Chains A and B, each alone.
Chain A
Amino acid sequence: MSDNKAQHKNPDRDMIESVWAEARDLVRKLEGTTVQRFAVAAGEYRIEIERGAPVAVSLPAGVAASDGEGAIASGQPVATGAGPGLGVAPGARTASGVFTLGDAPAADNRIPVLAPLVGTFYRASQPGAKPFAEVGEVVEAGKPVCIVEAMKMMNEVVAGETGKVAEIAVENGEWVEFEQVLMYLEPAEA
């Protein structure tokens, strides 16, 4: 995997990169959902990802044998650290799932804000009010960033750390489950 820049002319490698990018994007979108496993296929390539498990890229046997690089081929795990899967205590979930491939972008250090209970996600205290947080705004630790309503009880969700809102992962008014990612913050120093 160390010298994969040299392999960029290899169309197989480009194909793998593109499938990988697609998969990575999907992983982000699926964060916090109950999806445990999914597969992305393009041409002869197929990436299967199971949450909390090592990620494997499998190549057609012939390609793997002739490639000579072998790092991604032959179904070996190319990256672990699929990020905190289900079953990880909230405290341990400080970053969203991230996969790396060779010199792909560095690990995602965004901080997920998790739903403390099952309920309806609201960005503002009441309809028409200004949302607690907008993308790009810096929110302080301990300050409310949204509401999860359950059985007419409004439960404020506060930022665990100071950070810039990078993404709001749920639509206003959508139902969320326990520990579903509501939004991502970028650490203040970043």
Chain B
Amino acid sequence: MFEKVVIANRGEIALRVARACRELGIKSVALYSTCDAESAVVKFADEAVHVGPNHPGKSYLHIPNVIGAALKTGADALHPGYGFLSEDPFFAEICANNGITFIGPKPDVMEKVGDKAIARDLMQKAGLPLLPGTIEPVGTVDEAFDIAASIGYPVIIKAVAGGGGRGMNVVRREEDMARLYQTTRATAQAVFKDSAVYIERYLDAPRHTEIQLVCDSHGNGVYFFERDCSVQRRHQKLIEEAPSIHLSDGQRRDIGERAVKGALSVGYTGAGTMEFLLDDDGNLSFMEMNARIQVEHPVSEMITSVDLIQEQIRVAAGEPMSVSQDQVKLSGHAMECRVNAEDPDRDFAPAAGTLDVYVPPGGPWTRVDSHCYPGWSIAPFYDSLIAKLIVWAPTRPEAIERMDRALSEFQIEGRGVRTTIPFHRRVLANEQFRSGDVSTDFVEHFMAREAAAVAAL
């Protein structure tokens, strides 16, 4: 096992990783930018290194400083968290070259699964279902017309190198194809420096369903069931839950086994997530693989009682996983609300500031993953996440009640600070949400209905 792990991240995930290290008896090193000097992880970790000014490009993303901090402290491994350098194969390789174990997949595997076209090809070969469409990039507009005609409109054109909802366009009618094909290519070139695009069937209202898995270097892979992350706005997830109430036990086992097989087929090691779209007829289609731990991993931890960060660290150290597939039992229902410093009444505009009041909820089966404390300032340089509030209950309706109770306890106040708590409570009270009939267009429609109701007053 490692002796010392450097955490190349900030905020709640840095603290989450440091806590896992402490429980495993591993020393942790926090990295911090200037404005994060008083952060919770700096106080909690065994050591801390100042790696640069506030701008992430000069601190958390500045590879020489991050590597330097690992070497300075004699750390034998590095946990990248999510975001920042977590899916950068070049960085993972530099870690290896400096004798630091990167806690994640091997650089070449990360590179393969990070390329959507390659990942789709590999996963289809491994037996994962794909949406009708192309795997190879579409080279000409004529080709685009042919493909769209064969799979039927609407289709979506996506940048191969895209992500985060950027570099994609939906084509509903043939006459829009030529224009949108060119636009998507131009955007892809401008944003991702790669004009390659592919085309696939577009689902208007799919459910975002993803499989959590972990693979070790001994050929073992375990799936930790699925999460439904359909409550999202502009591809930013707001509420995640596990399991999905739309999968049968048979489907759950089948897709889990295929996901693990797909991951093992490319030599994947560490924690990863396979994203699928679930259509109204219950068909799952593989979309992409995320080669990192995700923000919403706690919901999977809550229904399986497995600490995924600890598993990540274990397998990176070359140890076998602590659990086998038949030991992982799905129990109850878990839900996570992301409490962000955003104003839902002003189109989720950032509403950061100093938290004069910060009183997190407690009580049974209520978990708060957060780096905040009274007096902490949410800085404008980084994301707006204040806390992840996670609850568990035996059933989904009980989880909803528990979540609402916990949200009602959560006190966050500060000059200029607004949070997504009121939004979450309104969603939890919504009949459609309660019925579970939620797809990725839910928030858009929900907000439109609310606006209409206000206008009608």
Contacts and interface: CB of A to CB of B under 8 A. Distances in A.
A118 B34 contact: no
Nearest to A179: B50
A82 to B, nearest CB: 14
Interface in A176-190: 176-180
Residue among A87, A118, A120, A150 with the most chain B CB within 10 A?
A118
A118 B38 contact: no
B69 interface: yes
A118 B37 contact: no
Interface string A26-56: 0000000010100000000000000000000
Q: Which 3 residue pairs across A and B have the least CB separation, nearest first?
A: A118-B68, A175-B72, A86-B37
A158 to B, nearest CB: 18
19 contacts: A34-B47, A34-B48, A36-B38, A86-B50, A87-B35, A117-B52, A117-B64, A117-B68, A118-B49, A118-B72, A119-B68, A150-B65, A151-B68, A177-B49, A177-B50, A177-B72, A178-B49, A178-B50, A178-B53
A176 B68 CA distance: 9
Contacts of A150: 64-65, 67-68
Interface residues of B, number: 26
A87 B69 contact: no
A118 B48 contact: no
B72 A87 contact: no
Interface in B31-77: 34-35, 37-38, 42-43, 47-53, 59, 62-69, 71-73
How many A residues touch the partner, as a band?
Answer: 20 to 34
A118 B65 contact: yes
A89 B34 CA distance: 8
Contact of B65 (A87, A88, A117): A117
Contact of B49 (A34, A36, A87, A153): A34
Interface of A: 34, 36, 85-89, 117-120, 150-151, 153, 175-180
A36 B68 CA distance: 21
B38 A87 contact: yes
Contacts of B51: 118, 177-178
Nearest to B98: A151
Contacts of A179: 34, 50
Chain B contact residues: over half helix, strand or loop, or mixed?
helix
Contacts of A117: 52, 62, 64-65, 68
Contact of B34 (A36, A86, A120, A180): A86
Contact of B59 (A88, A89, A178, A180): A178
A175 B62 CA distance: 17
Contact of A153 (B37, B52, B64, B72): B64
Contacts of B52: 117-118, 178
A151 B34 contact: no
A87 B38 CA distance: 9
Interface string B369-398: 000000000000000000000000000000
Most buried by A among B34, B50, B94: B50
B64 to A, nearest CB: 4
A175 B37 contact: no
A118 B64 contact: yes
A180 B50 contact: yes
Nearest to B62: A117
A146 to B, nearest CB: 16
B50 A175 contact: no
B28 to A, nearest CB: 13
A36 B65 CA distance: 21
Contacts of A88: 34
Contacts of B66: 118
B37 A119 contact: no
Contacts of B43: 36
Interface string B268-302: 00000000000000000000000000000000000
Given A34-B48, A118-B50, 7 more contacts: A36-B38, A117-B64, A118-B69, A150-B65, A177-B72, A178-B50, A178-B52
A151 B70 CA distance: 12
A151 B64 contact: yes
A86 B37 CA distance: 6
A87 B37 contact: yes
Contacts of B67: 150-151
Nearest to A151: B64
Nearest to A148: B68
Contacts of B73: 175
Contacts of A119: 64-65, 68
